[in-house]
Amino acid sequence: MNNQKFNKIYSTQRKRVDNKFETLLKGKSPASLYQPCEYIIIGGGKRLRSFLVMLSAFAVGGKMDSVFNASLSVELLHNFTLVHDDIMDNSDKRRGQPTLHKKYDVSTAILAGDSLIALAYKYLLKDCHDNNIKRVVEIFTNGVIEVCEGQSYDKEFETKTNVNIKDYLLMIKKKTAILLQTCCEIGAVLGNGDEKEIKALSNYGLNLGMAFQLQDDYLDIFGDESEFGKSVGSDLVEGKKTFLFLKAIEKAKGKDLGSIKYILKNNGIERNQIPEYKNLYLKLNVNKEIEKEISKYTKRALGALKILHDDKSKNILIWLANQLLNRKS
């Protein structure tokens, strides 16, 4: 199968998820709860997490249709995290639209987020059976816990001055990568994979998640704004301690180090300073450092697939990893 056919499979499954979310909560009462829930789940997104559940089941000999409800559950979980993250960060926009707490209010957004996690469990259980229900629920629940821990680390970093790259990698592992790992494990278990297959897909998801988040960091500074879908340089403006920033702290000396520390001192920069700092990052070659890191985790993800026997499923997982590595948004 060629890339065009892989893209068609992804587009088809993404549309199925979108279509289901369009009707999932339609007409449910009370509207004051379910309309805000509907607003966030039909607001778009790559549906990457749903697709990973389906692909992982397929990779071990299962059918994508048999894990469709579970694929919805991880997307509901993901949207739960987005709602609460946006409240904590007081974000104005999400996917080009007002965030839930800005469109409604904070109390409504909190309750909607709580409802989404409950709905996530409801749909997860639809695809579970007596022989796997305990394991699948444990995997999913551990994913919820890890994501919350990751968000807590992220909030800590806002006021912590001695964050290092090891700290940052742990944070993105918990906040982003563990959820992709969770998707792959759930798909593999529900698809009746053996232990080697489950472990391989788990490792694929974890390393793919690390590469995915690091690519986000990269695109925030070096992405094309017209393709990225939002203003570049937001991490610098907000003073976030990303891989790029922490690597710059490691490498900078003299005046350059003073410029980097200025971000710490002022909790960020002004938008008109973004080009200056982008050029400084290029001067320090931190763009090359993060590119190497993205490549490292992508290679680990692809290496984990070697034990899979079915070339069709292996090749589409390889295609997906390369798509994410080379994405512009």
- Using DSSP, state whether 166 is helix, strand or coil: helix
| DSSP class of 291 | H
Q: Which amino acid appears at position 329 of this protein?
A: S
Spatial distance between the Cα atoms of 54 and 246, rounded to a whole number of angstroms: 36
214 SS3 class: helix
pLDDT along the chain (329 residues), means of 10: 84 95 93 92 90 96 96 96 88 82 91 95 96 97 96 92 94 97 98 96 98 94 69 87 95 94 91 93 95 95 92 90 79
Backbone phi, psi, residue 277, to 5°: -75, -30
Q: What would the CATH number be for the domain defined by 3-325?
A: 1.10.600.10
Give 314-319's long-range contacts (Cβ < 8 A, gap of 24+).
314/59, 315/1, 315/6, 316/1, 316/6, 316/9, 316/55, 316/58, 317/55, 317/59, 317/204, 319/3, 319/6
Say how far apart CA 85 and CA 51 lie, in whole Å. Answer: 23
Residue 294's φ and ψ, nearest 5 degrees, are: -60, -45
Contact 139, 188 (CB under 8 A): no
141, 144, 148, 151 alpha-carbon torsion, rounded to 10°: 150
- What pLDDT is attached to residue 284? 96
Distance CA 81, CA 182 (A): 14
Task: Give ∠ CA 304-56-120 in degrees, rounded to 5.
Answer: 125
pTM for the model stands at 0.93
The 8-class DSSP code of residue 160 comes to -
Calpha distance 88→97 (Å, rounded): 17
All structural domains of the chain with their residue ranges: 3-325
